[in-house]
């Protein structure tokens, strides 16, 4: 056989001559197939630092940051990144995190490691509530600063008018308290982000879709009328974490306190279904908007309210959960979209990918793209929308009468909210944006000082580049 014949037999295939496509070409086909394009009239930003995905709570812990990897891979496989402004945010600084949390607690997170034996009897350890739910793992402080930094970055894009809808799926850790960890949450990035929004917005509405009550956020803004919290969750005081969020938990009991009647709770029983959940959501959010008149909204999209979740007890499907985000988006207010709970990673990833498409106004094809990394984890159907309401199904204990009573209770509480709050008398938190600029300026000054010192040494030694490293 001649050399020419060999070359002809194994020549590189020409474009279109084979079904083999590059990854970019496959993604491009998905973009066309799903009609993905930048939204008209508004901007969506996506905030994701891949370093968060590498964190590991432990082999038996239900919190799996790897769910973020699956989410981002689906988003990229469909090509949704082409329709958004995508940012890799920096970590939050110590000073930024202490705008809400106590200094000694953040100090503790910064130095504690798994090699340090936690003594329940030690006064400097026990108050921080570290343990099985909130373990100490390698990279804990980095993890906290990364997901918090992403939420702060997203909030700043909203306040700077660089974005209308800002997404951070690594955020939404709503149980963390001012001086302790709780419920898999260490830093309350939601509180930090809302503080940032309050620099520019007189009123913020916080909506929580997690199956667990958003107690940490409610507690943080308990005594202010500048934030209204609305949490839809499973409630069982004795048997379901955190045991708070009953219908009578509406804020301070003293009506003279500005925060009175600004903490609204929707306590649900096991097994609520799609139709009931979506209708209930609309029935409670609408009067909140009409009465409170927020100028920005933060929505926590915890995936543990899906059917079949490892720690959940509802019968909700992905499209129904997304319908709540769609309804909130249609209100046309600056919107911060955050993650939260969710302990069946494949379904959490499906949900957050779908809700990313909701933010973009795009209807995705239900079959996951064949080139999606780790697609075997979505077997056997490999669908974006599996039927979850029948997975480990719970009997629906939420009667129509019970749900109507909840709506009536919410409307009754809103009667006490006398119009928009007066922001002149409220404490305005420090400008986290200014803190950020100051930190970055200090970093630049240190870099310039090191460079100046290196050049002086080189001039003295006469050897160029000797001190460059």
Active site residues: 175
Which contacts qualify for 60-65: CB closer than 8 Å, 24 or more apart? 61/135, 61/184, 62/184, 62/310, 62/311, 62/343, 63/184, 63/343, 64/343, 64/345, 65/143, 65/170
Element holding 44 (H helix, E strand): strand 44-47
What would the two tokens of residue 355 be?
A: 């809700």
Q: Alpha-carbon dihedral of residues 132, 136, 140, 144, nearest 10 degrees?
A: 40
CA distances from 141 to 80, 93, 354 (A): 31, 11, 30
Closest CA to 210 of 238, 185, 180: 185
Collapsed DSSP state (helix, strand, coil) of residue 85: strand
Specify whether the CB–CB gap between 406 and 284 falls below 8 A. Answer: yes
Residue in this structure with the two tokens 């110590």, named with its chain if needed: 94
3-state SS class at 326: helix
Backbone angles phi, psi at 240, to 5 degrees: -135, 125
Distances in whole angstroms, Cα of residue 38 to Cα of each of 10, 30, 31, 165:
41, 15, 11, 12
| For residue 242, cis peptide bond before it (omega within 30 degrees of 0) | yes
Which DSSP state fits 126? Answer: G
CA 187 from centroid of its chain's CA atoms:
12
Give the C-alpha separation, 68 to 234, whole Å. Answer: 24
Residue 321, exposed/middle/buried by CB under 10 A (0-12, 13-18, 19+)? buried
Q: What residues have CB less than 8 Å from 131, skipping those under 6 apart?
A: 118
Q: Kindly give, in sequence order, each residue whose CB lies less than 8 Å from that of residue 428, ignoring residues fewer than 6 positions away.
A: 198, 199
Closest of 164, 130, 124, 224 to residue 44, by C-alpha: 164
Give the separation between CA 271 and CA 212, rounded to whole angstroms: 14
- Distances in Å between the Cα of 16 and the Cα atoms of 13, 25, 157, 248 are 8, 11, 42, 65
């Amino acid at each position: 056989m001649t050399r020419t014949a060999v070359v002809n037999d194994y020549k590189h295939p020409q474009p279109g001559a084979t079904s083999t496509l590059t990854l970019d070409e496959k993604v491009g086909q998905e973009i066309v197939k799903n009609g993905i394009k930048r939204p008209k009239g508004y901007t969506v930003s996506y905030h994701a630092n891949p370093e968060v995905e590498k964190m590991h709570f432990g082999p038996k812990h239900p919190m799996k940051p790897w769910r973020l990897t699956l989410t981002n891979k689906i988003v990229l496989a469909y090509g949704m990144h082409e329709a958004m402004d995508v940012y890799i945010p920096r970590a939050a600084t110590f000073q930024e995190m202490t705008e809400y949390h106590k200094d000694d607690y953040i100090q503790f997170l910064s130095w504690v490691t798994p090699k340090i034996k936690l003594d329940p009897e030690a006064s400097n350890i026990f108050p921080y509530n570290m343990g099985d739910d909130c373990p100490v793992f390698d990279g804990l402080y980095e993890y906290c600063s990364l997901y918090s930094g992403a939420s702060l970055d997203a909030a700043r894009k909203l306040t700077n008018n660089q974005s209308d809808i800002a997404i951070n799926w690594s955020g939404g850790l709503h149980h963390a308290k001012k001086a302790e960890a709780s419920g898999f949450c260490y830093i309350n990035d939601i509180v930090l982000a809302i503080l940032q929004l309050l620099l520019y917005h007189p009123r913020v509405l916080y909506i929580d879709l997690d199956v667990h009550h958003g107690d940490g956020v409610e507690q943080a803004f308990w005594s202010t009328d500048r934030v209204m919290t609305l949490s839809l969750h499973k409630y069982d005081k004795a048997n379901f974490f955190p045991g708070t969020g009953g219908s009578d938990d509406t804020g301070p009991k003293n009506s003279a306190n500005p925060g009175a009647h600004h903490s609204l709770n929707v306590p649900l029983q096991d097994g609520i279904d799609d139709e009931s959940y979506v209708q209930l959501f609309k029935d409670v959010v609408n009067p909140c908007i009409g009465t409170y008149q927020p100028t920005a909204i933060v929505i926590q999209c915890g995936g543990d309210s899906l059917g079949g979740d490892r720690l959940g007890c509802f019968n909700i499907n992905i499209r129904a959960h997304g319908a709540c985000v769609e309804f909130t988006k249609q209100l046309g207010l600056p919107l911060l979209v955050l993650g939260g709970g969710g302990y069946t990673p494949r379904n959490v990833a499906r949900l957050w990918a779908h809700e990313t498409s909701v933010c973009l106004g795009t209807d995705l094809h239900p079959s996951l793209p064949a080139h999606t990394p780790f697609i075997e984890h979505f077997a056997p159907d490999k669908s974006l929308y599996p039927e979850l309401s029948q997975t480990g199904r719970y009997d629906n204990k939420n009667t129509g009468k019970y749900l109507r009573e909840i709506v009536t209770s919410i409307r009754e509480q809103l009667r006490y909210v006398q119009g928009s709050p007066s922001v002149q008398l409220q404490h305005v938190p420090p400008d986290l944006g200014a803190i950020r600029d100051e930190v970055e300026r200090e970093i630049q000054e240190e870099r310039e000082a090191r460079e100046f010192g290196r050049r002086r040494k080189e001039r003295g030694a006469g050897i160029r580049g000797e001190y460059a490293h």
